[in-house]
Every structure is written in C-alpha cells, then in structure tokens.
Structure 1
Amino acid sequence: MRTDDPHYAPERIARELDWNLLRTFVVLAESHSVTDAANQLRLKQPSVSTALKRLEDRVGRKLINRSPGHYDLTEAGRLLYREAVEINGSVLRLSTLMREMTDDVRGHVHIAMASHVVSPLIDQALTGFHHDHPLATLKIDILSSSKAIAEVAAKRASFAICLVGDHHPNLEYRRMFREYFGLFCGPPHPLFGRDDLTTGDLEGHSSVSFETDRLQDVLKPITVMRAQAALGQKITGVSSHLEEVRRMIVSGLGV
C-alpha cells in the first residue's frame, strides 16, 4: 500500500465517514452475526449488510470475515472497533458535558447492574448522591454481569455493579461485598425437605441456573460446583434475573 494513496488521506476519511455507519459497526462487532446485530438495531438484515459494505468502501478495508459458521473481525475491523468505541463514548458524553456548564452538578448517570443486588451501601450512596445533586438524573439497567461489564467497556454505562471473574484490562474495579451461592430445590422436587443428603443424591438431577453459568464466564465457580455434584447435563431453565431463577427453582424445575 502506498502511504500517499489519496484513498487513505485523513481529510477524506474525516469528510466522508458517516457516524451512523460507525455506530452500526460497533453493534456488528459486539454481535454474533449480522442477523443478531439487525435485531438489536431493529433494522432489516439487508440494511445492516449494506451499511457494513458502505463502511468497508469508505475505509478501504474488509472489516468482518463472514462465511457459513464463521463471523469475526479482521485486523482492520478490530482496530476500527477500538477507535469507534472511543468515539461513541465521547459522543455519548457530549450532552452531559453541555448540561454540566453550570455551578450545579447536573448530567445523567447510567448504571449497569446485575439483578437483585441487595446492599445498604448502594441504597445509601443513591440517597446521598440525590441529596447532594438533586438536578442529576440516573438510569439503572438490569443486565447479566458480562453484559454489564461490556456496557462500561464500551462507555455506554458510567459504571457497573455486578459479579466479576477475570478483570478487563481497561477498567478499574472496587470490591463492594462478596456474594455466596449454594444448591437449592423447591417443594415439588423429590429432594425437598430431606436433611440426609450427600452429593451423590444430586447425580442425574436437572438444573436451573443463570445465563452466565459457563466455564468461560463470571459464574464459572457455579459451573464447577454443579459438575462436582454430578448434576445432570440437562438444564431445564435459565435466566439472567435472580428472581426468575428462584421462581423456577421454587416451581420444581430443577436444582
């Protein structure tokens, strides 16, 4: 590639690059397929494919390798995604920066939170923040822990309160409290009410768990615990919300 190729001139890219194409690409990069991205954007798949093709034409590089059973970013795609996330975060902060041009603290705080996080620390912090900054607004989204972390990494959320396994290299972490997990069953389950159980009694029984109950995710210890208890491979129900996992357990769907 010639370094003086006018196609890659910074002025041309700055002039012709469409922010909406970058925003679409960020969603594509975080999705598992074009169809998945289209569903998130509430657009038709051909429209998203066309947007990707237009962006590839603008930057002069293939950004996503697509073939049956294969979908991943090219080296150029990974580079563009990293920069697009930074641009996206800056754009999202613009309204907050404009509203903060005053002696009063204004703006919007977007919190990504795992379901059913119970802690007086959080309640006290929210009370104190609202008392000190009554003009500021908040939004709390309930997400799986992995998605909450992804929202912060993409600068779409101010911070997250969630379970953490491996640390993202670009994020700062503070431990608030420890969460403890166990094995439970509901009244309809054949093991309910017994106090003489051993791990051998659990063998073969179906399970209910969280969407992030995978070896590569934040709930890896639960996955390992289920395996050590020789629970069956059949998972009869999953949810990212603790309340719904509890509902399925109480209803007797599994351990």
Structure 2
Amino acid sequence: MGRTPLIDPERFLHELDWNLLRTFVAIVQAGGISKTAEAMRLSQPSVSAALKRLEGQVGKKLIDRGPGTFALTEAGCQLYTEAIEIRGSVLRLATVLRDVTDVVKGHVRLVIASHVVTPMLDECLRDFCCTYPLATIEIEVMASRQVQARLVERSASVGICLAHVQQAKLQYAHMFTEYFGIFCGRFHPLFGREDIDRAELKGQPSISFVTDQMNEALRPVTLMRAELGLSDHLVGSSPNLEEIKRMICAGVGIGPLPVHVARLDVEGGFLWQLPPYSGLPQIEINVVWNPDAKLNRAERAFIDLLLLKISNTPPELRDYQR
C-alpha cells in the first residue's frame, strides 16, 4: 500500500494560493458550488476549478460531491477550521494597522442575538462613547450560533448571545436571565381576557423565532410551544425580535417574547400575555469573547467596561423574572 507523500512546509507556504482558501471557505459556508458561484458572482466551472486546484496543492480530497451529496472529508474539516481562523486574522489586519498609526482610535464589532435587551448594555454604550469619543462601534444582529462562529474566526470583537452549546475556544460571562411568555396582539380574540384556559391556545396560528428549534439555544421555548399545542400551525417566523413582535401585534398569530421586553407594550395596550404565567422558560444571556484574538485598545476597553457593568449589578437585578 503506497504512502501519502509528505508535504514540504516551506514549499507549501510559497506555493499556496490564499485566494483558493477564501473560495474554499465560501463553498463550505454556502453548502455547494452553485450557491458559492452565485454569491461570489463567478461561474460554476470557475469555482469548481478553484476547489480542484486547492485539492491539488494540499494533496487531499476536501469535499465529497455527488448527486444529493455534499460532505467535507476529514482533511476538508481540518483545513476549514484553520482557514476560518486565517480569514478572521486577515479581516482584522486593517484595524490592527490603523491602531499602530493612531492608537486613540479603535473599532469595536459587537455581534448580538436580537432579543438582547438590557440597561447594562445601553449604559455601557453610553459610557464607552463618552470616554472614548474617537472610537467607533458596529453592531450586527444574528442568531446565537452565528455570534459564536464569528468570535471563533476572530472577525468580531465581542458577542452577547445564548450559549446552549459553548465553544472551547471562547470565554463566557453570564450577563442576565430572561423569561419567555406567550403573547397576542390587540386584534386577537384572546386579547384582554383574564380567564383563558391553556387548552384554548392549542392549534392557534403561531409565530416563532427562526432559532426556536429543538437543537438550538431557545429549546426551552420550543418545548413550551409544543406543550401548548402551538407547533403544528406556524404562520410566521423571523430571527429578529422586532419582527416577531410586529407580527404578534398585527394579529398574525400568538408567539413568544421575553417578558421584560414586552412589558411596555403590554402596559401600552398593544400586547396581552397569555398563559402560562409561571414556570416560564428561562434563558441565560452571556457576554462572549475570544481570549486568543488580538484586540485593539478600544475593543479591550469595551469588554472591560461591559464586564464591570455586570459585576457592579447585583445578581437579583440581573434576573428579569419580574
């Protein structure tokens, strides 16, 4: 049985086309050649040829492809893990180089789950901008699993999200605990009623978060919806809290919202909480960062300030059950 030829590291370093790595990452994240070609505005043969050239350079098959089949090989998995770290480092080069010439400036990339609503974050943003007026902040909303992926690849500074499954490369600090209830809008027949039996909710048209799946961080919310009989008639979904609330308020269906977030809309007569009223799903929100990421001064200052806000807030005030 023939041996796999050894790769000369120095020769590999000089001959590897870094653009092929970028294309490979895009192929894996898109889940196919055609989707990658569309996203990168290239022809499918060009993308296929790039993958073939990369496999030739590394001397390994990276993706098993066929009719209805698209799976990374063991070599492909290892290369993808290294490639996304390289990609994250390259993305951060502009920020790092800018800080060398102008250390009083810095850019913070904050990635958060959409239902992160807390005065601690608002106070941190206000204090940070007052203390560091030349720093800039970019906030992007995405699913919690994507937040962690961005931090693993070091393309974001800090994240705030749910963490049903924690990544070994990241550090986590508990920020607050929120509780999800079921709500309807003022145009719904159940609005304003205080004598609602849970059985009346079964089969009602419902709204849900896109990440509300059994294997996701909102799994407790999924279980509550299933127990109430709301799983079989899903009429609307979104990854964004505001759009979930919009559909509920508009009367599209009933659905889950963090109780502390919905409070003002309940008081304003736009939302009405439905049973159950106790034993609500409890969701832990965490601040997450990558300790191996090379942070600029603004990023370090933002993380330190946010962690200080958390430590200065008593645990009972970080539990939003009320």
TM-score (ref. length: structure 1): 0.89
Q: Name the count of aligned residue pairs.
A: 253
Corresponding letter in the other structure for 1:188: F
Q: Does 1:28 align with 2:44?
A: no
1:215 aligned partner: 214
Instruction: Flag the structure with higher strand content.
Output: 2
Instruction: Give the C-alpha shift of residue 2 in structure 1.
Output: 4.2
Conservation of the 8 A alpha-carbon contact between 1:209 and 1:245: yes
Corresponding letter in the other structure for 1:119: T
Conservation of the 8 A alpha-carbon contact between 2:109 and 2:156: yes
Instruction: Give the C-alpha shift of residue 220 in structure 1.
Output: 0.7
Q: Does 1:108 align with 2:82?
A: no
1:140 aligned partner: 139
Q: 1:58 to 1:249 in 2, by over 3 A?
A: same
2:77 aligned partner: 78
2:61 aligned partner: 62
Task: Name structure 2 gaps, 5 residues minimum.
Answer: 255-322
The C-alpha deviation readout for 1:113-132, integer Å capped at 9, x for no partner, is 12253222112222332333
Which runs of structure 1 show a deviation greater than 6 angstroms over 4 or more consecutive aligned residues? none
1:171 aligned partner: 170
* Secondary structure, counterpart of 2:174 in structure 1: coil
* Range moving further from structure 2, 169-178 or 24-33: 24-33
Distance (Å, rounded) in 1 between the aligned partners of 2:101 and 2:164: 40
2:46 aligned partner: 47
Q: 1:136 to 1:47 in 2, by over 3 A?
A: farther
Corresponding letter in the other structure for 2:17: D
Distance (Å, rounded) in 1 between the aligned partners of 2:36 and 2:181: 36
Conservation of the 8 A alpha-carbon contact between 1:24 and 1:51: yes
* Range moving further from structure 2, 109-118 or 241-250: 109-118
Distance (Å, rounded) in 2 between the aligned partners of 1:224 and 1:157: 32
1:243 aligned partner: 242
Distance (Å, rounded) in 2 between the aligned partners of 1:211 and 1:23: 28
Distance (Å, rounded) in 2 between the aligned partners of 1:34 and 1:87: 22
Higher relative contact order (CA 8 A, sep 6+): 2
2:283 aligned partner: none
Corresponding letter in the other structure for 1:11: E
Distance (Å, rounded) in 2 between the aligned partners of 1:235 and 1:36: 28
Distance (Å, rounded) in 1 between the aligned partners of 2:36 and 2:179: 35
Q: Does 1:186 align with 2:163?
A: no
Q: 1:247 to 1:21 in 2, by over 3 A?
A: same
Cα RMSD (Å) of the superposition?
2.1
Q: 1:223 to 1:76 in 2, by over 3 A?
A: same
Corresponding letter in the other structure for 1:66: R
Conservation of the 8 A alpha-carbon contact between 2:89 and 2:155: no
The C-alpha deviation readout for 1:109-148, integer Å capped at 9, x for no partner, is 1111122532221122223323333332221111122222
Distance (Å, rounded) in 2 between the aligned partners of 1:135 and 1:174: 27
State the identity %: 50
Q: 1:105 to 1:39 in 2, by over 3 A?
A: farther
Corresponding letter in the other structure for 1:163: L
1:14 aligned partner: 13
Distance (Å, rounded) in 2 between the aligned partners of 1:216 and 1:192: 32
Q: 1:175 to 1:37 in 2, by over 3 A?
A: farther
The C-alpha deviation readout for 1:7-53, integer Å capped at 9, x for no partner, is x2222221221222112222222333333434444444443323222
* Range moving further from structure 2, 131-140 or 163-172: 131-140
Instruction: Give the C-alpha shift of residue 199 in structure 1.
Output: 2.0
Corresponding letter in the other structure for 2:239: S
* Secondary structure, counterpart of 1:184 in structure 2: strand
* Secondary structure, counterpart of 1:188 in structure 2: coil
1:158 aligned partner: 157
Q: 1:247 to 1:139 in 2, by over 3 A?
A: same
Instruction: Give the C-alpha shift of residue 238 in structure 1.
Output: 0.8
Distance (Å, rounded) in 2 between the aligned partners of 1:187 and 1:163: 30
Instruction: Give the C-alpha shift of residue 64 in structure 1.
Output: 1.3
2:288 aligned partner: none
Instruction: Give the C-alpha shift of residue 82 in structure 1.
Output: 1.4
Q: 1:98 to 1:189 in 2, by over 3 A?
A: same
Q: 1:16 to 1:200 in 2, by over 3 A?
A: same
